[in-house]
């Protein structure tokens, strides 16, 4: 069996946004990679979740193990077997109603 390698060559996601709906935050981004296996979402540099290739949405709700705070720093990378793309970051800063 011949081994195959996968090039990193991942376009980092962009247009990273966060929207708050009551007790839920919905993150979306633009998929710029063509060979990703998925995306990794970070909170202050710690991985908090993964989604499959071509998925461009991640949801955190009050029911998840990660609490929603008014000001947090999140990041997202595309990944494949060769590694991760450049991380894009966003600071979520929601004001109290």
- What number of other Cβ atoms are within 10 A of residue 44's Cβ? 9
Mean pLDDT lowest among 30-34, 42-46, 70-74 = 70-74
Residue 63, pLDDT above cutoff 90? no
Helices (H) and strands (E) in the chain, counts: 0, 8
The CATH class, in words, for 14-92 is mainly beta
Q: Is 53 helix (H, G, I), strand (E, B) or coil?
A: coil
pTM: 0.76
């Amino acid at each position: 069996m011949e081994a195959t390698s996968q090039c990193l060559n991942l376009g980092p996601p962009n247009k990273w946004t966060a929207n708050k709906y009551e007790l839920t935050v919905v993150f979306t981004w633009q998929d710029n990679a063509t060979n990703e296996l998925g995306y990794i979402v970070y909170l202050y540099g710690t991985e908090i979740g993964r989604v499959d290739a071509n998925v461009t949405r991640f949801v955190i709700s009050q029911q998840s193990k990660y609490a929603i705070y008014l000001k947090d720093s999140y990041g997202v990378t595309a990944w494949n077997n060769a590694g991760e793309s450049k991380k894009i970051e966003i600071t979520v800063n929601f004001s109290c109603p």
